[in-house]
Chain A
Amino acid sequence: MATSTDTATTDTRGSESDRKPPGKPTAPWLKTLRTYTGVAIIVIWGLGPFYWMGVTAFRDLQFTFDTTPWPTHVTWDNFETVFSTARGNHFGRALVNSVIISGLTTIVSMVVGVFTAYALARLEFRGKFIILGFVLAASMFPGVALITPLFELFTNIGWFGTYQALVIPDISFALPLTIYVLTAFFRDMPWELEEAAKIDGASPGQAFRLVILPLAAPGIFTAAILAFITAWNEFTIASQLSSDETQPVTVAIASFAGAQPHVEPYTAVMAAGFVVTVPLIVMVLAFQRRIVAGLTAGGVKG
């Protein structure tokens, strides 16, 4: 882990796009300028529309269509609307549900995904291509066409509205990417170490757990973030299979109701989007080094 983050801090590969012939290095200030211009563009890209979301979230509903680019008609009302239970919205509970569902999805996908990726990357057996194909094929069917069969299935076994009815589909949506990322990652692992541990008397399980897993942690972390966000954003299935008690935030936001038919509480939707996004930003901020280091840890070998 440490190794890979270190490589990131070495130097400016950002400015490698200089097209001058070798021997005539670009002036450092120009390099810096170019880097910071790029940085500025990226920040505006990421934050611009998000800023607008924030401005709208703090704006009075009656001024929804106000296009003043800075905050006007500032109010906390929308956030009160979001968390108010008066109109049958239970945003707070939905937030907790989302954490439960996404958390469970992430944990299970990681365990299951690590097993599979290990087998695919490390073990020799026939049918690998078929399995990878099958896993990929799971990402090829229109998600909207899955709702009805799953509804019938889960209703028949009495799972409708339960957490497992939401977590299991989420797992299957997260698994293909998880497996592909982890397999690509595991292929570059220093497997000699595992062999060495076995020779030293470790069982295959121990060798994997004690030697490989710690090395793989960053890769798993990247895959976990991917899985978490996939589950956090899932809406289609949840909108039809969750009950009032288990519905996640995406569904709660979609069912925000205005005070009248036709009136859409757009500002409250933005406020809710804001509330939902902030924890993820904090999380990403806290772990960004690891997220990025994730796929690179394979570099340990080289």
Chain B
Amino acid sequence: MSTETTDAIASTEETPPAEPERASIDPHQTRRAWLLIAPTLVTLAVVIGYPVVRAIWMSFQSDETIDPQTGLFVEGGFAGLENYAHWILQQCGGQACPPGTNAASFWDTVFITLGFTVVTVAIELVLGFWFAIIMNGTFRGRGLVRAAVLIPWAIPTAVTAKLWYFIFAFDGIANSLMGTSIVWFSDKWAARAAIVISDVWKTTPFMALLILAGLQLIGQDVHEAAKVDGASAWQRFWHITLPLVKPAVVVALLFRTLDVLRIFDLPYIMTGGGAGDGNDTTTLSILVVNEIRSGFNSAAALSTLTFLLIFAVAFVFIKVLGADLSQDVKER
């Protein structure tokens, strides 16, 4: 491979760079591109597109109601925006939804989910960066350390959740090691902290891995040059390291954000969405699951709202952080 490569490099240097193709859009290229992309589009259309379209359609139908005569379920019919009003305005049959209904905790759930996302992703970013910087160094046993840091990520989430559930049990090892007697899954902040800790533990490796990959792009010479110019460590980090690892970091951040916004297993297994007043660790996905059993169509409306919320977050993300891969490569 290496000989081929060097030959190829040599030949590029002799030929003028192939510029013209970039200027105008070639119809052949367009057709080839769509052919190459088609398998992805078909797969995603079947597995994600179809359920989403269906959910949107169903969200405009009423849930089945009970016929008082027969006691049997009957069709609900067209609902218009009723299912959406049910969630957004928290209306249950013309009045405010009382505590103990899913809709009553909708807005709390939205903010809890956003809160989890901001806190978890922020901690993961900082920790991930720190891990990556350390792992980027030279020390004995580096291979083992890199494998060790990946362990949390390799354990299936359902097992992770069980593991932390027992670690944070009242008689669990967390209280025993710290000599505390915190009822972790009762107090809302303790419960939220427990969930954040477990999620951060599990997914920091993912962040660290991608950032480490980015860090390795930076040659030592760049740093040395900056040092000679009198740049402080912070300046070097801010002006050299950060811009160079940004593309990798942004992709990692974006996908982590989308994942936490849909977080389900960890809080569901650890607290069932409980703690605090009873719904203080409920996330949007947990609310969807709870609602599916009560009414599929209103659950579809909730799924659609969740989708819209995440879409909005992702949109802002891409606009602000510039995660737009469709743009041409920026000059480095």
Is A–B contact present in the complex under a CB 8 A cutoff?
A: yes
The answer to whether A302 touches B258 (Cβ under 8 A) is: no
Q: Answer whether A175 and B217 are a contact pair too, CB < 8 Å, given A123-B33, A285-B144.
A: no
- Check: B184 CB closer than 8 A to any chain A CB: no
Please provide the chain A residues from 80 to 113 with a CB less than 8 Å away from any CB of chain B in the complex: 112-113
Residue of chain B at shortest CB distance from A17: B233
Write out the residue numbers on chain B whose beta carbons fall within 8 Å of the beta carbon of A79. none
Q: Whole-angstrom distance from the CB of B44 to the nearest CB of chain A?
A: 5
B307 A284 Cβ-Cβ under 8 A: no
* Interface: A56 (CB within 8 A): yes
**CB contact under 8 A between A132 and B324, given known A13-B223, A142-B307:** yes
Determine if B248 and A184 form an interchain contact, defined as CB atoms under 8 angstroms apart.
yes
Which of these, B138, B155, B261, contacts A50 with CB under 8 Å? B155
> In chain A, residues 14-52, which have Cβ atoms closer than 8 Å to a Cβ of chain B?
14-22, 32, 35-36, 38-39, 42-43, 45-47, 49-50, 52
The reply to whether B15 and A199 contact each other, CB–CB distance below 8 Å, is yes
- B158–A295 CB distance below 8 A: no
Check B150 for interface membership: any CB of A closer than 8 A: yes
- Of A137, A168, A195, the residue contacting B46 (CB under 8 A) is A168
Q: Mark B218-239, 1 if CB is under 8 A from A, else 0.
A: 1110010001101111101100
The answer to whether the Cβ of B285 comes within 8 Å of any Cβ in the partner chain is: yes
| Residues of chain B contacted by A21 (CB below 8 angstroms) | 232
A144 touches B332 (CB 8 A): no
In chain A between 274 and 302, which residues have their CB closer than 8 angstroms to a CB of chain B? Answer: 276-277, 280-281, 284-285, 288-289, 291-296, 298-299, 302
Q: A74 near B: Cβ within 8 Å? A: no
Could you tell me if A295 and B210 are in contact, using CB atoms closer than 8 angstroms?
A: yes
Chain A residues with CB under 8 Å of B15's CB are 195-196, 199
Residue numbers in A under 8 Å from B52 (CB-CB): 141
In the complex, are the beta carbons of B289 and A144 less than 8 A apart?
Answer: yes
Please give me the residue from chain A that is nearest to B315 by CB atom: A133
B9 and A190 within 8 A (CB): yes
Q: B29 in the interface, Cβ–Cβ < 8 Å?
A: yes
Cβ-defined contact, B210 with A112, below 8 A:
no
A202 to chain B, nearest CB (A): 10
> Across the interface, do B148 and A192 meet the contact criterion of CB distance under 8 Å?
no
| A67 and B216 contact, CB distance less than 8 A | no
Whether B214 is near chain A, meaning CB under 8 Å from some CB there, is yes
| Contact call B139/A153, Cβ cutoff below 8 A | no
Query: Once the chains are docked, how many angstroms separate the CA of A121 from the CA of B328?
Result: 9
B212 lies within 8 A of A292 (CB) = yes
Residue of A nearest to B32 (CB): A123
A260 on the interface (CB 8 Å rule)?
A: no
Whether the Cβ atoms of B262 and A143 lie closer than 8 Å is yes
Interface contact A69-B173, CB-CB below 8 Å: yes
Residues of B within 8 A of A47 (CB): 148, 151
- Within 8 Å by CB of A43, from B145, B159, B162, B232, lies B145
Tell me if B209 counts as interface (CB < 8 A to partner A).
yes
Q: How distant is A132 from chain B, measured CB to nearest CB, in Å? A: 5
A206 CB–B CB distance under 8 Å: no
A207 → chain B, closest Cβ, in Å? 10
Residues of chain B within 8 A of A276, CB atoms compared: 155-156, 159
- Beta-carbon nearest neighbor of B39 in chain A: A112
Asked if B78 lies at the interface with its beta carbon under 8 angstroms from chain A, I say: no
B95 within 8 A of A: no
Distance from B20 Cβ to chain A, minimum over Cβ atoms (Å): 11
- B136 close to A8 (CB less than 8 A): yes
What's the nearest-Cβ distance from chain A to residue B198, in Å? 9
Given B9, B25, B145, B155, which contacts A277 in the complex, CB threshold below 8 Å? B155
Chain A residues positioned under 8 Å from B74 (CB to CB)? none
Binary B-proximity of A170-192 (CB < 8 A = 1, otherwise 0): 01100111011101100110101
A39 to B32, CA, bound (A): 48
Chain A residues with Cβ below 8 Å from B149 are: 42, 45-46
Q: For B264, what are the chain A residues with a Cβ–Cβ distance below 8 Å? A: 142-144, 236
Query: Which residues of the partner chain B approach A291 to less than 8 Å between Cβ atoms?
Result: 146, 209
Q: Cβ of B97 < 8 Å from any Cβ of A? A: no
CB distance from B177 to the nearest CB of A (A): 7
A158, B134: Cα distance in complex, Å: 52
Closest chain A CB from B187 CB (angstroms): 20
Q: In angstroms, how far is the closest chain A Cβ from the Cβ of B289? A: 5
Q: A13-B220, A16-B133, A115-B40 are in contact. Are A269 and B148 (CB under 8 A)?
A: no
What is the CB-to-nearest-CB distance from B203 to chain A, in angstroms, rounded to a whole number? 11
Beta-carbon contact of A233 and B156 below 8 Å: yes
Given the known inter-chain contacts A4-B216, A150-B51, A295-B213, please indicate yes or no for A125 contacting B33, CB distance below 8 A.
Answer: yes
A sample of 10 cross-chain residue pairs with beta-carbon separation below 8 angstroms, ordered by A number, consists of A14-B138, A45-B204, A119-B37, A123-B30, A123-B33, A126-B30, A141-B55, A176-B255, A235-B156, A292-B212
Instruction: Enumerate chain A interface residues (CB-CB to B < 8 A).
Output: 2, 4, 7-22, 32, 35-36, 38-39, 42-43, 45-47, 49-50, 52-53, 56, 64-65, 67, 69, 112-113, 115-116, 118-121, 123-126, 128-129, 131-132, 134-146, 148-150, 153, 168-169, 171-172, 175-177, 179-181, 183-184, 187-188, 190, 192-193, 195-197, 199-200, 204, 210-211, 214-215, 222, 229, 232-233, 235-236, 249-250, 253-254, 266, 269-270, 272-273, 276-277, 280-281, 284-285, 288-289, 291-296, 298-299, 302
Given A11-B137, A126-B25, A168-B43, 13 more pairs with CB closer than 8 A:
A8-B216, A45-B204, A46-B149, A46-B150, A49-B164, A116-B36, A132-B325, A132-B326, A141-B303, A144-B289, A276-B156, A293-B216, A296-B216
